[in-house]
Amino acid sequence: MNQLDSLRALLAVIDLGGFAAAARALDTSPAKVTRLIQDLEKTLNTRLLQRTTRTLSLTEAGEVYAARIRPVIDALDAANDEVSTQGRLPSGVLKVRSSLDFAAAQLIPRVSRLQRLYPKLEVEINTSDRLLESPDLESDLTVLFSRNGLADGDFVARKLGTTSGVMCASPQYLKIHPAPVHPEELVRHECLLPTGKDLPHSFWLTSVDPDNPQQFEFRPGPAKFHSNSSEALYHAALQGLGLVGMLSVHAQPYIRSGALVRVLPQWIGERWQVWAGYAGRKHVPRKVQAFLEFLQTEFGDPELDPWLV
């Protein structure tokens, strides 16, 4: 038995909550993960995991053993990474989890620049159709969004910036429908908003004019186009079907290209914080460190909205 492989398998099962997820993270099969842990339990002559058809938990002995071996494995990983990358550029596969909107607007356009800096770095971006609020522990890094800070968990998060809600429309829509100059005029426009029973019936807009601070509660009227997909709503706006509410981090490339125009530029909607979340351990792999530094250089001051144009 390769005991080191068994130790890594045990920690992966604990961290990821199952044999299949651990196998994916270790790039092996669930059967091999199961065998490694069984071999470890046989060597120790004690059960480490309590398994039923629906639950998986550590035994008392398993909790003690995992607490002892984790710092050892972390230290070994740190030593391996430090020696193997000393004087070398980051390499290997960087696995990133992100919402589709953020990946399309902010990550994928930067991959070529990242790989020019680090030619041996491979990038794998896996996407979700919603904003993520907790890390995917099978990935090296997850892009997270939160309104009021992140929930507690066994992860570390670094703030990337703050993004604000903005209203946009295509130039062809604005040729037919003059742009509103105050939020109260929005009731006369087709407003493209996501559908869903849990969504609010009204939205607050806040003036960014320091000489005239105010808030306005916007209650959208009935629209002729509906979708539960933000991507579909963006494309509907591009086709001139109406005004669309977007986060600045998603709207930025459309506005810069001229495909969409920001309306009501003196008003913003709800503000979200954007974070990079990764596993809570002392040693952070060199490839993750390099990617975090790259994003901070790209986005600038994390307390500002670098995407508001």
Residue 137 lies in domain: 92-156+274-299
Quick one: 135 and 203 in the same domain? no
At residue 108, what is the residue type? I
On whether residue 309 sits in a domain, the answer given is no
On whether residue 64 sits in a domain, the answer given is yes
Residue 35 burial by Cβ neighbours in a 10 Å radius (0-12, 13-18, 19+): middle
- List the CATH number of the domain containing 237: 3.40.190.290
- List the CATH number of the domain containing 151: 3.40.190.10
The total number of structural domains that make up the chain: 3
Quick one: 173 and 265 in the same domain? yes
Look at residues 64, 85, 106 and tell me which one is the last residue of a structural domain: 85
Quick one: 76 and 148 in the same domain? no
Q: Which residue blocks in 88-225 are alpha helix, DSSP H?
A: 100-102, 108-117, 171-176
CB-facing half-sphere around the CA of 134: CA atoms within 13 A: 5
| Distances in whole angstroms, Cα of residue 240 to Cα of each of 5, 30, 167, 171 | 57, 50, 14, 8
**pTM as predicted:** 0.75
On whether residue 75 sits in a domain, the answer given is yes
Quick one: 169 and 242 in the same domain? yes
All residues at 6 or more sequence positions from 220 whose CB lies less than 8 Å from its CB, including other chains = 186, 187, 191, 193, 202, 203
Quick one: 278 and 150 in the same domain? yes
Quick one: 178 and 194 in the same domain? yes
Tokens of 16: 């990821």
Quick one: 152 and 181 in the same domain? no
Quick one: 14 and 63 in the same domain? yes
- CA dist 161 and 163 (Å) reads 7
Quick one: 152 and 279 in the same domain? yes
- CA dist 248 and 162 (Å) reads 9
On whether residue 228 sits in a domain, the answer given is yes
Quick one: 73 and 205 in the same domain? no
On whether residue 35 sits in a domain, the answer given is yes
- List the CATH number of the domain containing 73: 1.10.10.10
Give the DSSP letter string of 32-86. HHHHHHHHHHHHHTS--EEE-SS-EEE-HHHHHHHHHHHHHHHHHHHHHHHHHHT
Q: Tokens 């991507």 belong to which residue? A: 231
Residue-level pLDDT, tens digit, the chain, 309 residues: 588 888 888 888 888 888 888 888 888 898 999 899 898 888 999 999 988 777 788 888 888 888 888 888 877 877 776 676 555 678 889 999 999 999 999 999 999 999 999 999 999 999 998 899 888 888 999 999 998 878 777 788 999 999 999 999 999 999 999 999 999 999 899 999 887 656 667 789 999 988 888 999 988 776 788 888 888 999 999 999 999 999 999 999 999 999 999 999 999 999 999 999 998 766 788 899 999 999 999 999 999 999 998
